[in-house]
Amino acid sequence: MGKQRESLELDVLFVGAGPACLAGAIHLKRLINKHNESATDRKLEDLTIGIIEKGREVGAHILSGAVMDPRALKELFPDFLKDGAPVEAEVTYDKLLYLTEEAKLVLPFTPPPLVNHGNYVVSLSKMTRWLATKAEELGVDIFPEFPAAEPLYEGNRVVGVRTSDRGIGKDGKPKGNYEPGVDIFAKVTVVGEGCHGSLTKKLRRQLKLDEGRNPQVYAIGVKEIWELPKGRVKPGHVFHTVGYPLDSNTYGGGWIYHMKDDLLDIGLVVGLDYKDPLLDPHHELQRLKLHPYLQELLNGGKLVAYGAKTIPEGGLYSMPKLYADGLLLVGDSAGFLNSMRLKGIHLAMKSGMMAAEAIFQALLDKDYGAAKLKLYDDLFRSSWAYQELYSARNFHQAFHQGMLAAMINAGLQFVTGGKYWGLIERASNGAGHERMQRLVDYYGTRYAVPNRIDFDGKLTFDKLTDVYYSSTNHDEDQPSHLKILEPNICIDRCTKEYGNPCQYFCPAKVYEIQEEHGKPKLHINFSNCVHCKTCDIMDPYQIIEWVTPEGGGGPGYVIM
C-alpha cells in the first residue's frame, strides 16, 4: 500500500490506559527514580515508558460501577484526597434490597462482602484521567488513539505490539489518509486492555496461557447516569439489588450509587452464562427503572450518560498465567476482579504495581525472560490481593445452580474460607455461552419473542437513544471491526436454533436481522459499538470476533 510502516522502541510498553497500567507505570517510574537517586552502579537512566490507549482520550473507554476500595490507591498515593484524586463521595450508607416487581424489602443486614464503609463512590473515567496526569508528570508518555491490533513475537517471546492501520476504507482499500499501524517494540509489554481484550485473546491462545485454568466467565454491566432534582441525591449512599427484574436462574443484580453534583448512577449486572437466548440486558435495565421505588427516585430527573462493559467474573481459577517471555498481564485482562465484593479497581491497580516491581528487577538484571518476570506471580501470591481472591475463589461457580443456591453457597464459603459448598477446595465451571439454551429447549415449540417495553423516552429508552448518550463515534468509512467468521450460520442455523441472540445481548443495537432482496440478512451497525465485547463472549457459535477499529473510535465516556 505504499507507505512505510514506522516503528518505535520503548523500554516498557503498557497497553491500555486503565487503572492497572496507569498505576503500574507510576509505580515503575517512582521505583526507577528512587533507585537512581542513591545507586552508584546499575543506574537506570533514559528509560522510556509508554502507555498506548485505543480511546480518543484517557477515560473515554473506561466504565465501572463504581464503588472503589481505596487500598491500592492509598499504597500509591497515601494522601490521595489531598493529592486531588477525584472521588465522588465516601460511602456513608449501604443497603442490600430485595426487589419484586412491585415491592422492595430492605435486608436487615448487609452481607460482609457488600459492606462498603471506608470505600468511595467514583467515576473510573475521571479517576483514570487523574492518574494519567500523575503518570505524565513523572515522564510517562501516553498515546491515545493507538489501538494495539497484533502482538509482535520473536519466536514465542513477545517483543511489542502493532497498532491498527488508519485510513482503510470500508471496501478494504487505502484512502488518501492511509497510515500503516506502528510497530512498537519493548523489552517488556504489559497488557491491561480491559476485559476480554482482542490482544489478550490472541496472546492467551498463542502462548497457551489458559492451560489448567477454568474457562473465564463474564458478566455485562449496563449503566445510566441521571441528573436528579436538587437535594434528592445523597452522595455516598450505596444500594445493591437482587431479584426483579432477573429470574432466579440468571446471575446478576442492580446497583444505585449516589454521586455528587445531583448525579445518580444506576446499573444492572447480568451474568453472561444465562439460559434464555432472548434475554436482553439493556431491556432488563429499563425494566429495573420501572420498579416503583426507582420510578419515584428518578421522577423529574434526566438521563445524562449511558454505557456498557463486560466484567471477568470467574475469579482466581479462571485467571490465565500472568507472565511469559517479555509479557505481563494485568487488571481485567488477567481477571483481577472479586465478584463476591463486586470490585476490581483496587485489584487492577495492585496488579499493575506488582508488575512494576517485577519489571524494575528485570531492568536491573537486563533479563526479560519468563523466569525473571515470574517475580510478578510470586509477588501476587504473597500479596493481600491473592488472599482476597483466594477467599472468593469458588464464588461464581455456584451461580450455575441458581441465585438461591449461590447465596447459600456464598454464606458457606464465607465461614469455610472459600470452600465450594463448604467442602470442595476448587470447583470447576464451563464457559458461559455454553449454558445458553436453544429456543425450543427454553420456550418450547410454540415460542414467541417475549413482550418488550414501549420505551417512553422519559424513564425508559431504546438502545439507539441510550447509545447517543454514550457519545459513541466511529468513522463509517472503515471495515467493520466485528467479524463474522462463518456468516452462513447466522441465518441457516442461528435464526432457528437461538433466534439470533446477538440482537438482544448487544447493548448498542449493532446487530439487526433485516430483509434484503426478500431474504433475511444480518446487518451490522458497527458504528454504534460501545466496545463492551459481549458479542465476542456470548455468541453461542463463537463466530463473532471483535477486532480493533481505527484509533479513537468507540464511546466517549466522561463520567462513567
DSSP state of 554: B
Stretch that binds ligand SF4, among 45-53, 89-97, 288-296, 533-541 (CB under 6 A): 533-541
Residue 59 or 501: the one with the smaller Cβ distance to ligand SF4 is 501
User: Could you tell me the sign of the dihedral formed by the alpha carbons of 90, 96, 100, 102, in that order?
Assistant: negative
Q: Which residues, numbered 251-290, are part of the site for ligand SF4 (CB under 6 A)?
A: none
Asked if 199 interacts with ligand SF4 (CB under 6 A), we say no
The single-letter code of the amino acid at 326 is G
Nearest CA-CA partner of 272 in 400, 393, 394, 398: 400
Stretch that binds ligand SF4, among 165-173, 393-401, 416-424, 507-515 (CB under 6 A): 507-515
Asked if 427 interacts with ligand SF4 (CB under 6 A), we say no
Phi-psi sector, 243: left (phi>0), alpha (psi -120 to 50), beta: left
* CB of residue 347 to ligand SF4, shortest distance in Å: 23
Which residue of 126, 282, 321, 533 would you call a contact of ligand SF4, by CB under 6 A?
A: 533
CA dist., res. 269 & res. 247, Å (int):
13
Residue 142 or 508: the one with the smaller Cβ distance to ligand SF4 is 508
CA dist., res. 175 & res. 3, Å (int):
12
**Could you tell me how many residues of this chain bind ligand SF4 (CB under 6 A)?**
13
Asked if 535 interacts with ligand SF4 (CB under 6 A), we say yes
Stretch that binds ligand SF4, among 15-23, 91-99, 457-465, 529-537 (CB under 6 A): 529-537
* CB of residue 175 to ligand SF4, shortest distance in Å: 23
Asked if 547 interacts with ligand SF4 (CB under 6 A), we say no
* CB of residue 297 to ligand SF4, shortest distance in Å: 27
Which residue of 532, 543, 559, 560 would you call a contact of ligand SF4, by CB under 6 A?
A: 532
Record the cell numbers describing residue 250, joined without a space.
440468571
> How far from 78 is each of 81, 83, 85, CA to CA, in Å?
9, 9, 11
CA dist., res. 52 & res. 3, Å (int):
22
Which residue of 51, 510, 522, 559 would you call a contact of ligand SF4, by CB under 6 A?
A: 510
> How far from 166 is each of 176, 317, 553, CA to CA, in Å?
10, 38, 11
Quick count: other Cβ atoms within 10 Å of Cβ 554?
Answer: 25
Query: How, if at all, do strands 93-99 and 7-15 pair?
Result: unpaired
CA dist., res. 530 & res. 467, Å (int):
8
Quick count: other Cβ atoms within 10 Å of Cβ 107?
Answer: 13
CA dist., res. 195 & res. 198, Å (int):
9
* CB of residue 507 to ligand SF4, shortest distance in Å: 6
Asked if 482 interacts with ligand SF4 (CB under 6 A), we say yes
* CB of residue 484 to ligand SF4, shortest distance in Å: 11
Which residue of 530, 543, 547, 559 would you call a contact of ligand SF4, by CB under 6 A?
A: 530
The single-letter code of the amino acid at 341 is R
Stretch that binds ligand SF4, among 58-66, 350-358, 443-451, 526-534 (CB under 6 A): 526-534
Record the cell numbers describing residue 131, joined without a space.
492518574
Residue 67 or 544: the one with the smaller Cβ distance to ligand SF4 is 544
* Binding positions for ligand SF4, rule: CB under 6 A: 482, 506-508, 510, 529-535, 546
